[in-house]
Chain A
Amino acid sequence: MAKIELQAIRKTFDSTEILKGIDLAIEDGEFVALIGPSGCGKSTLLRIIAGLEPQSSGEVRIDGAQVDGIRPSARNLAMVFQSYALYPHLSVFDNIAVPLRMRRHSTLARMPLVGRLHPARAATERGIREEVERVAAQLELSGFLKRKPGQLSGGQRQRVAVGRAIVRQPVGFLFDEPLSNLDAKLRVHMRAELAQLHRQLRATFVYVTHDQAEAMTMSSRIAVMIEGHIVQVGTPAEVYDNPQDIRVAEFVGSPKINALPGVIREDGGVEVLGWPLGLSTPAAAGRCSVCVRPERMELSSGPSAISGTVLHLENLGAEAFVHIKVERIEMPLLARISPDRQLPAIGSAIQFGFSTTAVRIFDAAGKRIEVTAAARSERIREKAVG
């Protein structure tokens, strides 16, 4: 098992810089998810770790040893691809056996016909059979060993790809959006299976995805990549609760975080739509974004801080989303509420507020601003009511 370190990795494709200096240390046995919008360079970074793509500058170290110029298979990392990349002409057994055969048979023994006459071949082949069968049993594939990938369902193909990865007992696993070709229900199921696999193998997992739900549910740490930079690294809870950049706040969490236009006054107080929030900041005066997660929005029937009209309702059974149109804010705001209570009618006027602890404030450049509760700490809702 291995520690993977990335130092100042840069990658340029024909004058376009895809990766702009990536530093990341992945500890032994850790499950790190690389997430980010498409085109942020996360797959390129994974391919650089695997050795399928050379970096333009910077270093990759596995267990302290620099691996630049070392072939992918010699790095002893396994990779699971989005398309699974199973060899369609080989049976499930042969697909899983490929990495072992490549490593253990000499070139001569792999020859089409002559190979069968090779003296050591039979013994090696017996060993390979045992290991493939063990892995197949572990992944519940024993009944499908003779089938071709084309005769399997999406989830089974996924498991064959995982089998091909674990059979060689690599020091680390690289996953490139492995669940995005599955339907929603199966994806949830495979999420649990992969997390369990990680606990079982205790191997280092690097997992690339654009689906923040996968990252949140499986990984021990998340690295959020945006436009070629790692903007924030932290546990799922940290990244969700304490985003250091407005792009992180907006990318992580579904539905998206609400951003309200705010102003930092000369005295350090923060206002949103003319209402003082009761927070103060040492940051320079100017415009800012005041962000609140949908579940922290508090609707009230009585008069409250901010008023708007209900634009749309989504009742998902376990939760409901109220889309609220507020004057002077272009995008409708979202509030997540329990459907147990009476849902407001579409088109009706509504008031809402939020606790000061729910607020995350970002400056005009999108960086997080630290705020402290002002001396006269009170909730905006109470203030309005009072």
Chain B
Amino acid sequence: MADALTATTILAGRGAAAVTPARDNSRSWPALAMVAPAIVLMGLLLLGPLLGVIALSFTDYQLGSPRFAWIGFANYEEMLADRVFWISLRNTLTYVAIVVPTAVALGLAVALLIESGSSLRAWYRTIYFLPVMATLIAMSIVWEFMLHPQFGLVNGLLHSVGLEGRSWLQDRGTALYALCVIGVWQALGFNMVLFLAGLVSIPRPLYDAAEIDGAHGAWARFRLVTWPMLGPTTVFVVVITGIRSFQVFDTVHVLTKGGPSKSSEVLIHTMYIEGFEFFRSGYGAALTVVFLVFVLLLTLVKSSLANRGVHYA
């Protein structure tokens, strides 16, 4: 996430440097000296590793091996021909397509409900924010118990209302969707907090004006004031949730390991298996580059939206 955000900053920075007319050198070197520490750190910590990964993706390097050879686009060719890659890409996109809208819509709904109520606000905020603070690995184990086919809470509840339970995480048809539910549960609290902050910053007089102008009812007020004023927050929340959903790994690794039969395989998990279990670092690096491209795309969408379309008060 941080990588991608900074990557766009760097791109933007380059653009700005290109349009600035060349100043005379005697005056520009103190400026360069002053930005040097930041540039050195950025190069060392961000650009260096990024270029390293890109370079690595053109080699056949294996973790621990004493030598490697440049193999051009062979890793990428292999990847495009690999069924597992396409499955994990499709699964990742499905995961993002389900988690992002659901977690954003529910986060907004919860924030609106908390904001409109008068009692127990702090209590509700804490409850919904707990999943964000909890370690996802530990929570995954709790979910594993809850989703257990025989003595899990979920199937128990379904049983008590007369519905047939399933083995959620072991079923090819439900494993990915079960992970989506956990993803939504985890992202909800964070989105809610961001939306709450956005709601608080909407000027009160706008609601008064809406009331005077005849916007009665929650829906009219939401359409006229709340939703447009939340524009910047919404773009931010969507992009952050999108990037975090692309990065889904913990729950997959703990609960399903991508199974059964690759039905919940996702990009980062494939990357991990290739890189750290099969030690094919070069191929893993190629997968990482593909992943970075997607995250970068999301960030570009965000910055272009932020620059026009969306209103910033």
Contact = CB atoms under 8 A, between A and B. Distances in A.
A110 B220 contact: yes
A322 interface: no
Nearest to A74: B214
Contact of B212 (A50, A82, A107, A112): A50
A164 B205 contact: no
Contacts of A87: 206, 209, 224-225, 228
B311 A52 contact: no
Interface string A72-96: 1100011101110111111000000
Given A83-B203, A85-B203, A88-B311, A78 B212 contact: yes
A329 to B, nearest CB: 44
Contacts of B213: 73, 98-99, 102, 164, 168
B216 interface: yes
Interface of B is mostly: helix
In this complex, the member of A50, A71, A77, A89 whose beta carbon has the largest number of chain B beta carbons within 10 angstroms is A89
Nearest to B311: A89
B205 A85 contact: yes
B50 interface: no
A103 interface: yes
Contacts of B171: none
A73 B211 contact: yes
Contacts of A99: 212-214
B56 to A, nearest CB: 46
A79 B211 CA distance: 10
Contact of B205 (A78, A83, A110): A83
A179 B205 CA distance: 16
A85 B208 contact: yes
A168 B206 CA distance: 18
B217 to A, nearest CB: 8
Contacts of B209: 79, 81, 85-87, 164
Interface in B169-226: 203, 205-206, 208-209, 211-216, 219-220, 223-225
A72 B231 contact: no
Contacts of B147: none
Nearest to A103: B214
- Bin the interface of chain A by size: 20 to 34
Nearest to A112: B223
Given A87-B224, A87-B228, A102-B220, A81 B205 contact: yes
A102 B208 CA distance: 14
A169 B206 CA distance: 20
A107 B215 CA distance: 10
Contacts of A164: 209, 213
Contacts of A78: 212
Contact of A102 (B203, B215, B311): B215
Contacts of B17: none
B99 to A, nearest CB: 25
B7 interface: no
B127 interface: no
B229 interface: yes
A149 B124 CA distance: 36
B208 A81 contact: yes
Interface of A: 47, 50, 52, 71-73, 77-79, 81-83, 85-90, 98-99, 102-103, 107, 110, 112, 148, 164, 168
Given A52-B212, A103-B214, 9 more contacts: A52-B211, A72-B211, A81-B209, A86-B209, A102-B214, A107-B220, A110-B223, A164-B209, A168-B213
